[in-house]
Amino acid sequence: MLRALFLAAPGAGKGTQGPALAERYGVPYVATGDMLREHVAADTPLGRAAKEHMDSGGLVPDELVVEMVSNRLARPTPLPGFVLDGFPRTLRQAMAAYEWGKDNDRTFDAVISLEVPRDELIRRVQERQRQSGRDDDDLDTFRHRLEVYDRDTQPLIAFYRDRGILLEIEGTGTVTDIQTRIFTALRDAGHGLQGQGGADSDVAPAVT
């Protein structure tokens, strides 16, 4: 049962690749951005507290995100597997997630870092903004989101590399090309599929 995190800059493709990976491994896809937008749309206390940070391109405070995600993963019982997108985004969140994972036997098997050049990220988000009209895809807001990522989230690369679970994946090319790189890297790291047939089924998952 896979427990994975997608770690990448805004616009790198987490929202495309995350659901595909979750479906392949038969686990829930948990996207903090989607959950936060749902809270904003429902005008919950958490949504109201988070909205001003989201609108400006800043990170939602750690305590709000940790509470939201831990509640999602823990109710009614801890999920045995999942693909996370958007959490953790700071070292403080990463350490909180690691402690929660140890306490609940749910530490990450793999952290997938999608590597995409900045000019490609900007091209993608401009296209996405034209299609969706999302406020946080405004170019100035997006550039600020990249600055926040560099400052607060990029340090997680070294954190997970030191833990020996980081998989660095080239995030350019077709959706299928990128999926293939991700699936291959997971298989080669010992996180193959079991009991579902196919080329990955004979690879046992690594012990976390």
- Closest Cα to residue 39, out of 68, 82, 5, 15? 68
Cα–Cα distance between 82 and 103 in angstroms, integer? 17
Give residue 61's identity as a one-letter amino acid code. Answer: P
Alpha helix locations (H) across the chain? 14-25, 32-41, 45-56, 62-74, 91-103, 118-132, 139-148, 155-163, 175-188
Name residue, tokens 């890297």. 185
Cα–Cα distance between 192 and 44 in angstroms, integer? 39
- Closest Cα to residue 182, out of 119, 88, 112, 95? 112
Instruction: Tell me the pairing of strands 29-31 and 166-170.
Output: unpaired
Cα–Cα distance between 19 and 38 in angstroms, integer? 18
CB of 68 closer than 8 Å to CB of 46:
yes
> Known catalytic residues?
14, 89, 128, 134, 145
